[in-house]
Amino acid sequence: MKALVEFLREGDTELLPMIEAYISSQARIQGTENPSGGLADGSGLGEPKFMADETPFAGPWGRPQRDGPALRATAMIDFGWWLLSQGHHEVANAMVWPIVRNDLSYVTQYWNHSGGFDIWEEIQGRSFFTLAVSHRALVEGSIFAGSLGRSCYECVSQAAQIRCLMQSFWTGRFIRSNLDSSRSGKDAATLLAVTHTFNPLAECDDVTFQPCSARALANHRRIMDTFRDVYDINADRGQDEAVAVGRYPEDVYFGGNPWFLCTLAAAEQLYDALYQWGRLDSIEVNSVSLPFFQALHSSTVPGTYSSSSETYHQLVDAVRTYADGFLRIVQNYAWNNGSLSEQFSRYNGSHLSANDLAWSYATLLSVSRRRSAIAPPPWGNSGSPSVPLTCSATAVPGTYSSVTITSWPAIGGLPTSAPEPCQPPASVSVTFEVTAGTAWGEDIRVLGSTEALGNWNPARGLPLHADRYTAEQPLWYGTIRLTAGHKFEYKYIRLKDGQVSWERGANRQVEVPDLTMNSVEYMPHVRTRIREKGIDFTNHFVTTALCCPSRVTLWTGRQAHNTNVTDVSPPFGGYPKFVSQGFNEDWFSVWLQEAGYNTFYVGKLFNSHSVETYNDPFVKGFNGSDFLLDPFTYSYWNSTYQRNHEPPKSYAGHYTTDVTEEKALGFLDDALEDTSRPFFLTVAPIAPHFDQQPDRPAGTPPQAPVPAPRHAHLFPDARVPRVPSFNPVHQSGASWIKELALQNQSVVDYEDFFYRQRLRSLQGVDELVDKLISRLEESGQIDNTYVIYSSDNGFHIGHHRLPPGKTTSYEEDIRVPFFVRGPGIRPNQTENRVTTHVDFAPTIFELLGLPLRDDFDGTPMRIAKNSSAVAHEHVTVEYWGTAVLEGNYAKLSPSHTHRMPNTTYKSARIVSEQYNLFYTVWCNNDHELYDLKTDPYEMNNIYTSAPQTLLNRLDALLLVLKSCAGVTCIKPWAELHPDGSVESLSDALSPKYDSFYESLPKVSYSVCEDGYIVVAEGPQWGDFEVAGSGSDARKLF
């Protein structure tokens, strides 16, 4: 059941009725008298066996079995977390919690009784597996109770005592399975305990025996060595090879054979460990774990190996190969139809005992997910918990009550609720934690030099919570939202009966961190050598949040609907479409050559510029070029480049950013040597783009970027900034985005990893920038050269519950950096006026003294002193076709792929001192409207509540922009008001124009298409006659 709930939390809602039926059944069974007892004292909850009709099994059996209540509780708690994530607090509180509470009460009352049977239902006494899962249930139960506004103090106190007793099972070399047994104690039940209590936040904690802990790894080695010599089918298998694993070496049941369950558990622990090492970016080897590592890599010595070291990668490869070996054993002995029995013969691998054992299948599903680096949701806090100095054989009598579930309420998406209050710009959650032992009736508060902390007034300070308080860790905590960048001082106080005791010592000081996705803050050379040396265009946007269409717009000065290159591959995009549209003869590099410039290009040009299309025809307009070619463009260690008109050349085994750097420096030297002509050099490394291998299986989502080994250890604590739009509890958006489920902790952890990989991969780009500018300085040409830094699209990670990717018109995807330094530009300038990639080509023309082309859809950016820039407040954003989702959790589409159809839309972004709006019409005719003045993270769609007069103006503006060309794109209001009376939205909002805007058709689609097909895009501005506002009636176009 726990595996099914995990799939539900990943989005498989078809499992919901089955899970509800299971919980309803548990409610009934809890109240059923059985051979173990009843509900009055909870004893009946330890009964291990019921018939399919829910009647108790009356025959002889190993009873009670005390792991059952703990395992049931954790499965139902997982379901409760899902309910809370979907907004169904009352269902979790009134229906799930009472059943969970009974099972938790059983654990707190009976955990220290020695009269229970172990996982195999054979030995009475204290079992490591039972204690480990009981500890998890109590820890997670306490946290779950707190989320419901309840408490489970006995959960906290007894969890600490269980944790203390668990240490007694460690022998110094392995984990003893049972304390009260004459067996060796080496038992696969300990592997199952380790995997069942894997907490991704606990790192490699020895106290809770986490999968990558030294104790758990040493135990794994000892158990494998035990079974290596027991079974004939393991003969001749070396220490670095996987073996078939049974329950314990003394087993005689059915002759004592390997179990599929146990063999899979051996693999699962290793995949769990690999996940944690990847998350921690390091592997620690100490004297306890050394035998495990040396068995796989004989030269290993104690130490900490960062992910930038060769040893780290050798160990990871060895462990992964070792883990895969267990799966190969299962694959080898599974039946041809994939069926798995309970056991397989120790002599020849034939199936024995029960056929189609559910536990075997559930473990196989779990192992498959762990092998794909899909970790389970965390169940406790980070780090290592404390252990009491002395263990106490305590117990807390439980409180039990019968539960009746007659029916479940409809659960399908988020319940209707009022919109979340708008968050102020740059608002950050700040948590205060302090350990302070207190007497009964004594409270702890935080006071500080800010309004949220009472401005030092004890009566108005922030009260802290104590629901996680224990004698061993008297923790008080509380969370508030504060403005990013705000500095303040604070202190803790004790408050009892109106008396205040102040914390001793100087005031504590803190500056609230600034939450931004701005990766440039991690690129010191870009920041100090370009941005701070020139102009930062702070409101710069792309007009299509996808690489190929955005690049064609950049190099032609035209909106995507005018280039008709709208995708990354044919028939609607890519290099072949660029050629068929006639641009190879008529684009930026050709124009600059005609103006007397030498032109050079290194790196990615366009998608679908491949080893098959590079010479059909060759790209025109360059004196020197070295292009990355598909399908190797996005392979960080297996790239292919094509220089000038030469054949493609593979650079397999070379890091692609370093290759780009070397080639760029070479072309820069070529350009500097020719003093008779000026030059234009473009350097386009792929980082931080996703990684995609050319031989990947079809349908594999793009993976996280790959940093150079020298950067792989950097930023271990970096996380995606937790802005309000990051994995929000209450979803906003439109079309398929508003249906996305809340992401669980495994997804969030992966997104943090993806974020770190982007930052790390950018370090190579930052080094490239540094070397290029240094070369310009050495040549004496730096003061004669404009240096520009930008990107072809933005990026989201977890925002609006989206997996990593781009393609939306939300702020994260369309706002990009744009920095310029060069002749006549003063350092440390900022320009807040709206600019876009459509403005790039006109800007370069103006800087070079070239006349602007009539077909430019943009206007120069204000760089030159006498710039002809036309101020505008609007941005046209457009997209067609499919959204490509990235990473391990990207398969969210209806067909379970990473490509989300029907992502066609038109948007208008309007930015001025008075307003900051974002308006979108989707191809399914959903609408979005956000006021970014009050809602900077686009969380409150106000389309249905906005004044119709405003909506009419936005529709009219978008109607013009969605098919504009040339000056129409620059001055759209002049199309609507040819007399010049309106130049902005503010002008257009005059009431005298109400009837005019009401009369205009509204933007809509007739069908969702994957490319720019005009007939699918509803009314067009040129298709009808309108009565001008105060001017004569006219026919447009």
Q: How many helices (H) and strands (E) does the chain have?
A: 27, 30
Amino acid present at 240: D
Which candidate, 436, 419, 448, places its Cα nearest to that of 475?
436
Give me 859's structure tokens: 């206007």
Looking at the structure of the chain, the number of domains it has is 3
As a whole number of angstroms, the distance between CA 283 and CA 312 comes to: 7
Q: Has residue 28 been placed in a domain?
A: yes
Please give the full DSSP string across 588-641, using - where no structure is assigned. Answer: HHHHHHHTT-EEEEEE---TT-BTTTTTTTPPPS-SEEEEE-BTSTT-TTS-EE
Q: Among this protein's residues, is 433 annotated catalytic?
A: no
218 or 718, greater pLDDT: 218
pLDDT at 831 over 70: yes
Cα atoms found within 13 Å of the Cα of residue 871, Cβ hemisphere only = 8
* Helices marked H in 926-1018: 948-961, 967-970, 972-976, 985-988, 994-999
Q: What whole-number distance in Å separates Cα of residue 729 and Cα of residue 85?
A: 6
Q: Residue 411 pairs with which residues in a beta bridge?
A: none
Domain identity same for 394 and 499: no
Same domain? For 150 and 115 the reply is: yes
Q: For strand 624-628 and strand 598-603, is the pairing parallel, antiparallel, or unpaired? A: parallel
Residue 1037: predicted pLDDT: 25
For residue 137, tell me if it sits in a domain.
yes
Does a structural domain hold residue 989? Answer: yes
Buried/exposed code over 612-632 (b: 16+ C-beta within 10 A; e: otherwise): ebbeeeebebbbbbbbbbbbb
Domain shared by 400 and 436, yes or no: no
| pLDDT given at position 1034 | 30
pLDDT band, residue 586 (cuts 50/70/90): very high
Q: Helix or strand or coil: residue 283?
A: strand
On whether residue 909 sits in a domain, the answer given is: no
Distance CA 203, CA 200 (A): 6
Tell me what pLDDT residue 796 has.
94
The whole-angstrom separation of Cα 447 and Cα 433 is 13
Is 450 a member of any domain? Answer: yes
Per-residue confidence at 2, pLDDT binned at 50, 70, 90?
Answer: confident
Angstrom distances, CA of residue 229 to CA of 298, 325, 332, 342: 21, 17, 20, 21
- For residues 392 and 310, the model is more confident at 310
pLDDT in tens, 767-777: 999 999 999 99
Last residue in a domain, options 373, 404, 435: 404
Residue 514 has pLDDT above 60, yes or no: no
| From 33, 90, 121, 778, active-site residue | 121
* 427-431, 589-593, 611-615: the lowest-pLDDT one: 427-431
Give me 95's structure tokens: 């229906």
127-141, 259-273, 393-407, 810-824: least confident range: 393-407
Q: Answer whether residue 1029 shows pLDDT above 70.
A: no
The domain boundary, picked from 491, 511, 531, lies at 511
Pairwise CA distance, residues 941 & 918, whole Å: 10
Question: What separation in angstroms does the CA of 186 have from each of 162, 179, 248, 568, 645?
Answer: 21, 12, 6, 56, 66
| 393 and 447 assigned to the same domain | no
86 and 36 belong to one structural domain: yes
State yes or no: pLDDT of 576 exceeds 50. yes
Residue 739 among the catalytic residues: no
d(CA 546, CA 883): 9
d(CA 720, CA 726): 8
Q: Is residue 1017 part of a domain?
A: yes
Q: What is the pLDDT of residue 453?
A: 86
- Residue 878: pLDDT over 80: yes
Find the domain containing 1035 and state its range.
952-960+971-1037
> What does the alpha-carbon distance between residue 992 and residue 981 come to, in Å, rounded to a whole number?
12
What is the phi/psi pair of residue 433, to 5°? Answer: -135, 140
Of 648-662, 821-835, 953-967, the poorest mean pLDDT is in 821-835
874-879, strands of its sheet edge to edge? 874-879, 905-911, 916-922, 927-931
Name every residue whose Cβ is closer than 8 Å to that of residue 656 and which is 6 or more positions away in sequence. Answer: 628, 635, 636, 637, 639, 685, 686, 687
CA distance 13 to 413: 10
Three-state SS for 362? Answer: helix
| Gap between the Cα atoms of 144 and 153, Å rounded | 12
**Residues 145, 71 share a domain:** yes
DSSP string, 2-24: HHHHHHHHTT-GGGHHHHHHHHH
What b/e string do you get for 997-1006 counting C-beta neighbours within 10 Å, with b at 16 or more? beebebbebe
**Amino acid 794: pLDDT:** 93
pLDDT of residue 899: 92
Same domain, 3 and 97: yes
pLDDT at 421 over 60: no
pLDDT band at 424 (very low <50, low <70, confident <90, very high): very low
Residue 393 confidence (pLDDT): 74
Question: For residues 926 and 735, is the Cβ–Cβ distance under 8 A?
Answer: yes
392 and 503 together in one domain: no
Query: From CA 721, how far away is CA 716, in angstroms rounded?
Result: 14
How is residue 15 written in tokens? Answer: 């499992």
**285 forms bridges with which residues in the sheet?**
303
pLDDT interval class at 136 (50, 70, 90):
very high
User: Taking CA 757 as the corner, what is the angle to CA 754 and CA 761, rounded to the nearest 5 degrees?
Assistant: 145
Residue pair 462/478 in contact (Cβ under 8 Å)? The answer is yes
Please indicate, yes or no, if residue 687 is contained in any of the structural domains: no
Residue 417: pLDDT above 90?
no
* Angle, CA 179 vertex, CA 174 and CA 182 arms, to 5°: 90
CATH, residue 462: 2.60.40.10
Residue of 658, 662, 605, 654 whose CA lies nearest to 633:
605
Identify whether residues 103 and 150 lie together within a single domain. yes
Residue 18 sits in the same domain as residue 127: yes
Q: How far is CA 251 from CA 173, 230, 245, 346, 961, in A?
A: 21, 11, 12, 12, 76
Each residue of 76-111: pLDDT tens digit? 999 988 888 777 888 888 899 999 999 999 999 988
What confidence tier does 629 reach under pLDDT thresholds 50, 70, 90?
A: very high
Mean pLDDT, the chain, as a whole number?
89
- β-pair type (535-537, 829-831): parallel
pLDDT band at residue 724 under the 50/70/90 scheme: confident
CATH number at residue 22: 1.50.10.10
In the three-class reduction of DSSP (H, G, I as helix; E, B as strand; rest coil), residue 650 is classed as strand
pLDDT at 895 over 90: no
Q: Which of 47, 67, 78, 118 is catalytic?
A: 118
Is 79 in the same domain as 120?
Answer: yes
Which pLDDT score is estimated for 1030? 37
Same-domain status, 468 and 393: no
Residue in this structure with the two tokens 């028939």, named with its chain if needed: 571
How many angstroms separate the CA atoms of 316 and 327, rounded?
17
Helix, strand, coil percentages for the chain (3-state, nearest 5): 35, 15, 50
103 located within any domain = yes
Nearest CA to 367 among 251, 443, 263, 240?
263
Contacts made by residues 528-532, CB under 8 angstroms, sequence distance 24+: 529/769, 529/770, 529/773, 529/821, 530/769, 530/773, 530/787, 530/788, 530/789, 530/819, 530/820, 530/821, 531/789, 531/817, 531/819, 532/827, 532/828
Which of 404, 438, 463 terminates a domain? The answer is: 404
User: Which DSSP string corresponds to 798-841?
Assistant: SBTTPPSB--S-SHHHHB--EEEE-TTPPSSEEE-S-EEGGGHH
